[in-house]
Amino acid sequence: MQKHIRRREQINSQAIFSSAIHPALANIYLSRGISSDEQLANELPRLSTPDNFKGLREAAKLIATSIEQEEHILIVGDFDADGATSCALSVLALRAMGALHIDFLVPNRFEYGYGLTPEIVAVAAQRKPELIITVDNGISSIEGVDAANRAGIRVLITDHHLPGAVLPAAAAIVNPNQPACEFPSKCLAGVGVIFYVLSALRSELRARDWFKKQNRSEPNLGDFLDLVALGTVADVVPLDHNNRILVAQGLRRIRAGRARPGIKALLEVAKRNPASIVASDLGFAIGPRLNAAGRLDDMTLGIQCLLTDDPYRAREIAQQLDELNQDRKAIEAGMQREALTVLERLQLGDANALPWGVCMYQADWHQGVIGILAARIKDRYHRPAIAFADADPLAESNGSATIKGSARSIPGLHIRDALDAVAAKHPGLLSKFGGHAMAAGLSLARENFAAFSAAFDVEVRAQLCADDLTAVLLSDGELIPAHMTLDLAQALRDGGPWGQHFPEPLFDGEFVVVQQRLVGEKHLKLVVAHASAPKQQFDAIAFNIDNRRWPDPATTKVRLAYRLDINEWRGQQTVQLLVEYLEPA
């Protein structure tokens, strides 16, 4: 897919950085709204204070009383990495604070779907909890909370998703995005929200002299920040200053060898060195392996990996998760081949023939993988994409079989609002939907697929223009050869954590191609020289390239968009260019 490389505007601002910061890195910080060392400080005391976090005090008192009365507490989580880390953090921290009866439950996505549904409450009631704590879900679970209330079970909701017009009738709600909550960090992941709840709980128990009465040491919640970092990065929430502190502190503990055995084991199977990992390793190495459990099987397996204190058991589960991830990749690859074949047939050589809003359905596609498929199609063609699969065979909608869809969007189109517009213009077309700007889920009757596809394409065309369908890569500019050094590469690696809304530095420039070859069937290995310094050569690698286009012996000069990285091989470190995009120059 053709992409447009656009360089970020140079910011003319008075920066107050220490002299130790590399000039290139200082410019990068300025372009991301950072102009002083204070905004880069990642110490825990700089976290946003919880004073104006709505519902936090009520939540802490609710859990503290439940612990004092030795009640049964049940954590109800979500089936993704944020939900898994939130669940593991809750169980471990509550045990450390003296909770005697603590258990967890994660809905199987194929049987119950998302959130605290009445059906999950019925399952939960069999365990006889007095208190249910939701993590990373619950803000839209109005019917589920009502069912719990009727069953005499109190519910504490901790969530970060956007609430609807009506809130559940829970005993307490902690969500930075709920109305009238003045907590400044609105971008917390679910694991960040429950971290704040647990911190407030520790303060409440301390005020009640609980730890002295029990002759129990207060837990150091910093010991659990590896889980907080993992969930925050894997959920791709914006890395505002607060989240950067949480992630930086978690990474610091992992690098120091203080991670949970499960996280160490997942890094081991992913062949990552814990001493040198960065935030992207959490998102691309650990996150997918953890998510594979929820996508293909049951996230309980992933939570058990995070909970265990036994390194041998952790390695055993991590290996299972790695195998599940390989299965997920194989399933996804097959689905992607089928989808691309259909799309290429639709185009017939003319990109303008492809819908602006792409909808694809196949009955036997795997429900747990359609979200990844939609993301791959979106990335390949740079247009909003929705992948559908059959729902549970027993699920019915108006007497017709139901299909479930997972949507991914591009900048310029708020996908949840687009679905809302389709629903308003075509009443009854969608059974239900929900989501955010870039991702959403929906369900509809199978017989409505064609009508919905047409309506969605019309809505996308109404909201976007043709230029929006060209992907834009924002570059931090061109690096002169003198700056393409190990020192700068290390400074960039240490300068994060980088992530959503605080993107890792990307550079562009023209290079002479010295060598090019295919490795691993779909990766292009290059040796290139900067056009202005042909004797200075660099290794470069482009992952998942179109092997019908590359390697190309006829191309001797390329324009690259790349990240400056460090390659370690047999104890030696060299500069390596991680190629995001390449085109003949």
Give the C-alpha distances (Å, rounded to integers) separating 278 from 248, 252, 258, 438. 9, 10, 15, 24
Residue 302 has pLDDT above 60, yes or no: yes
Contacts of 226 (CB under 8 A, 6+ apart): 250, 253, 254, 258, 259, 260, 263
* Per-residue pLDDT at 347: 63
Residue 360 has pLDDT above 70, yes or no: yes
Taking alpha carbons only, the member of 532, 479, 526, 529 closest to residue 507 is: 479
Q: Where do the DSSP E strands lie in 136-278?
A: 154-158, 172-174
Cα–Cα dist 141/120, whole Å? 11
Give the C-alpha distances (Å, rounded to integers) separating 258 from 5, 250, 255, 263, 506. 40, 9, 7, 10, 31
**Taking all residues of the chain, what is their mean pLDDT, rounded to a whole number?**
91
Contacts of 560 (CB under 8 A, 6+ apart): 508, 509, 510, 511, 528, 540, 577, 579, 581, 582
Residue 186 has pLDDT above 90, yes or no: yes
* Per-residue pLDDT at 437: 81
Tokens coding 2 = 């053709």
Least confident of 51-60, 177-186, 362-371: 362-371
Least confident of 17-31, 138-152, 455-469: 17-31
Contact 179, 163 (CB under 8 A): yes
Percent of the chain with pLDDT over 70: 96
* Per-residue pLDDT at 165: 84
pLDDT tens-digit series, residues 45-95? 999 999 999 999 999 999 999 999 999 999 999 888 999 999 999 999 999
- Average pLDDT on 8-37 reads 82
What is the C-alpha R_g of the chain?
Answer: 25
Q: Highest mean pLDDT range out of 301-315, 523-537, 558-572?
A: 301-315
* Per-residue pLDDT at 400: 58
Contact 558, 527 (CB under 8 A): no
- Average pLDDT on 183-198 reads 96
Burial class (CB in 10 A: 0-12, 13-18, 19+), 478: middle
pLDDT bracket for residue 109 (50, 70, 90):
low
Give the C-alpha distances (Å, rounded to integers) separating 281 from 88, 238, 274, 278, 426. 20, 17, 10, 6, 43
Give the C-alpha distances (Å, rounded to integers) separating 582 from 231, 517, 546, 561. 32, 14, 11, 6
Contact 87, 303 (CB under 8 A): yes
- Average pLDDT on 194-200 reads 98
pLDDT bracket for residue 399 (50, 70, 90):
very low
CA dihedral sign, ordered 53, 58, 61, 63: negative
Taking alpha carbons only, the member of 47, 296, 329, 316 closest to residue 196 is: 47
Question: In this predicted model, which residue has the larger pLDDT, 140 or 352?
Answer: 140
- Average pLDDT on 259-286 reads 95
Q: What 8-state DSSP symbol labels residue 446?
A: G
* Per-residue pLDDT at 13: 62
Cα–Cα dist 498/8, whole Å? 17
Tokens coding 184 = 């400044």
pLDDT bracket for residue 110 (50, 70, 90):
low
pLDDT tens-digit series, residues 154-176? 999 999 988 888 999 999 999 99
Domains of the chain in sequence order: 49-320 (3.90.1640.30), 355-469 (3.10.310.30), 473-584 (2.40.50.460)
Residue 503 has pLDDT above 50, yes or no: yes
Least confident of 14-23, 344-353, 421-430, 471-480: 344-353
pLDDT bracket for residue 398 (50, 70, 90):
very low
* Per-residue pLDDT at 485: 94
- Average pLDDT on 470-487 reads 93
Residue 349 has pLDDT above 80, yes or no: no
* Per-residue pLDDT at 37: 86
Q: Reply yes or no: is the peptide bond before residue 163 cis, omega within 30 of 0.
A: no
Least confident of 84-93, 104-113, 450-459: 104-113
Residue 394 has pLDDT above 60, yes or no: no
* Per-residue pLDDT at 534: 85
* Per-residue pLDDT at 5: 93
For residue 182, the cross-strand partners are none
Count CA within 13 A, CB hemisphere, residue 435. Answer: 24
Contacts of 477 (CB under 8 A, 6+ apart): 7, 8, 10, 27, 507, 508
Angle between helices 225-234 and 241-255 (to 10 degrees): 120
Cα–Cα dist 84/161, whole Å? 16
CB-based burial, 100-131: b 16+ in 10 Å, e otherwise: ebbebbbbebeebbbbbbbebbeebbeeebeb
- Average pLDDT on 544-550 reads 86
Provide the 10 A C-beta neighbour count for residue 324.
22
* Per-residue pLDDT at 18: 73
Say how many residues make up the chain.
585
Provide the 10 A C-beta neighbour count for residue 143.
15
Residue 19 has pLDDT above 80, yes or no: no
* Per-residue pLDDT at 396: 45
Residue ranges in 126-214 assigned as alpha helix (H): 142-150, 190-207, 210-213
pLDDT tens-digit series, residues 415-426? 989 999 999 999
Q: What 8-state DSSP symbol labels residue 505?
A: P
- Average pLDDT on 7-21 reads 75
Cα–Cα dist 113/441, whole Å? 11
* Per-residue pLDDT at 112: 67
Contacts of 283 (CB under 8 A, 6+ apart): 233, 234, 236, 499
Taking alpha carbons only, the member of 241, 260, 240 closest to residue 250 is: 260
Q: What 8-state DSSP symbol labels residue 205?
A: H
pTM: 0.90
Residue 114 has pLDDT above 80, yes or no: no
Cα–Cα dist 364/362, whole Å? 6
